[in-house]
A and B are shown apart, each in its own frame.
Chain A
Amino acid sequence: MDLPNPPGPTSTDASKRFTQRSAAEWVTFIVASLILLGLVGLILFDWQTNQTQPPAFAVTVSEAVRVTDGRYYVPFAITNTGGRIARMVQVTGELNIEGADNETGEQQIDFLSGHETKAGSFVFTHDPQEGDLVVRVASYRLP
C-alpha cells in the first residue's frame, strides 16, 4: 500500500483525529449526504403521490396486426394507471367470429407497478378484423 498518511500533524489522539478530515473526505461526505437525502426525498414523494391510489388498468390493442404463416399476431399494451402495484394481472383476449369457434387468449403478468406499461401479443388463427375482439383485464392480486 503506497498510500500517504493524511496530511497535517499526525495525532494519535482520537478526539483530535476528527479535525484531520481532508477536503476530499468532506466532498465525499457532502455528495453522500445529498445522495441519501435525495433517495429519502424520492421515497417520501412516492409515498405522497402513488401509494394512495389502488391499481387500475388500461388495455390498448394495436391496429398493427402482423400475419405470419397464416396466424394473426395482435399486439396489446397494458398500463397500470393507478399508483399501487398489482400482481398476477390476468389479461384475456376473446375473438368472436360468426360461423366459427370463439378463440381466446390468456396472458398473465406477474408484476405491474403503478404507471408501468407491459406489452405482449395474442395469437389467433382467424383475422381479428373480421370479428369482434374483446381484450380485458379479468383479475389481479394485491401484493
Chain B
Amino acid sequence: MATSIDKPIPHPEANVWLSEFQAILQGAVGGFLFGIPLLYTVEVWSIGAATDPRWLLAVLAATLIGVGLLTQVEGFRQTLSLHPLETLLESIEAVAIGVVCATLALVLLRRITLATPLAEVLGKVVFEAVPFALGVALARSTLQGKRGRVRAENSPESEAEPTANRRTTAPLSRWLSSPTGGNLGDTLVDLDAALIGAVLIAFSIAPTEEVPILAASLPPLWLLLIMAASLGLSYAVVFASGFADRAERRQRGLLFSPITETLVAYLVALLASLAMLVLFQQLNPSDPWSEWLSNILVLGLPASIGGAAGRILI
C-alpha cells in the first residue's frame, strides 16, 4: 500500500485510480476512528441481533439521510461537492464504505463468523455501519484539520519557511542538516500525542466488559491478526491516507521512518492499554499471562487508532 503510493506515477491515467483509492482510504480511516468506540459495545451487538428487518431498513435509510446532510457540507472526496445529485452519489458511496468497514471490523473481532446466522449478521452490520458511515462523511472535515487546509491553500514555496502552524521554530535547513537535534524533541512530541490519543480511547473502553468478552472469544492465532490490523490502521491513519501532510511528516520524522514510528506508536498504545486495564483492575496478578496478553492486544486495537488520531490532530 505504502510503496505504491510513494512511487512516482508515470501516467496521468493512473492518478485517477490512485486518488480515488486514497479518497476511499481516507473515508475508511475516518469510519474506523468514529466507529471503533461503538464497535466495543456489547449492547449494539445484541440489539442488532434482535432487531426486526423492517427496522433495519429504516436505520439504513436514516443513515443515508444523515450522511447526505453531512456530505452536503463536505464530501469525503477532495472536491467540495455542491451538485445535489453528486451529494446523493457520494452519500451512497460513504454508506457503502461504512458498511464494508463495519463488516471487516466485526469479522476481525469475531462478532461475525461463518457460524453466525444471517439475521444476526445483518443486524450487527447495519447498526455498526451507522457510526462508520458518519465517520466516512466526517473524515475530511474533522481530520484534515486546520493544518491541512492552510497548507493546501499555501503554495509549495512556502513550505521552506517555517509557517505559523509549524510546531518548531527551527529553520528547515537546520532540520535537514542535523537530523537528531530538534528532531528528538519533535519525535517525543509525536509520541506524546500518540500516548494522549491512546489513553483517551483506552480509558473509555478499559472499564467495560467488552474487552474480556472479545478476548475470550478469539482463537489463539487470531491475536496476530488483531496486531496486524492495529499496525495497518495506525499506518493508514497517519501515512497512507494523506490526512497529515506527508512532506511535513517526512521532515519532522527523520528520526523514525514511517514504519518504525508506527511500531513505536503501537508499543505506546499497548502500554496505555496495559496501564488502563491495571488502573481499572481488569487485570490482576493472579490472572494467567495469556489473559493479560489477549486483553492488552484487544484493547490495543482502539488504543492504537486513538494514538494515530492523536498524532495527526495534536
Contact = CB atoms under 8 A, between A and B. Distances in A.
Contact of A115 (B54, B117, B122): B117
A99 interface: no
User: Chain B at the A interface: mostly helix, strand, loop or mixed?
Assistant: helix
A40 B54 CA distance: 10
B205 to A, nearest CB: 21
A15 B82 CA distance: 8
B99 A22 contact: no
Contact of A6 (B46, B79, B82, B86): B79
Contacts of B57: 40, 43-44
B312 to A, nearest CB: 13
Interface in A21-54: 21-25, 27-29, 31-33, 35-36, 39-40, 42-47, 50-51
B245 A35 contact: no
A113 interface: yes
B53 A31 contact: no
Interface in A47-86: 47, 50-51, 83, 85
Interface residues of A, number: 44
A117 B16 CA distance: 47
Interface in B1-38: 12, 15-17, 19-22, 24
A46 B89 contact: no
Contact of B117 (A36, A113, A143): A113
Interface stretch (B90-98, B179-187, B195-203, B262-270): B90-98
A43 B246 contact: no
A14 B83 contact: yes
Contacts of B120: 85, 113, 116
Nearest to A24: B20
B173 to A, nearest CB: 22
Given A32-B93, A85-B49, A24 B119 contact: no
19 contacts: A1-B246, A3-B22, A7-B12, A14-B83, A23-B16, A24-B21, A28-B93, A29-B93, A32-B95, A35-B99, A36-B95, A36-B99, A39-B60, A39-B122, A39-B126, A45-B118, A50-B118, A116-B116, A117-B115
Q: Which 4 A-B pairs have the closest CB atoms?
A: A32-B96, A24-B20, A143-B50, A47-B53
Interface of B: 12, 15-17, 19-22, 24, 46, 49-50, 52-54, 56-57, 60, 77-79, 81-83, 85-86, 89, 92-93, 95-97, 99-100, 115-120, 122, 125-126, 148, 151-152, 242, 245-247
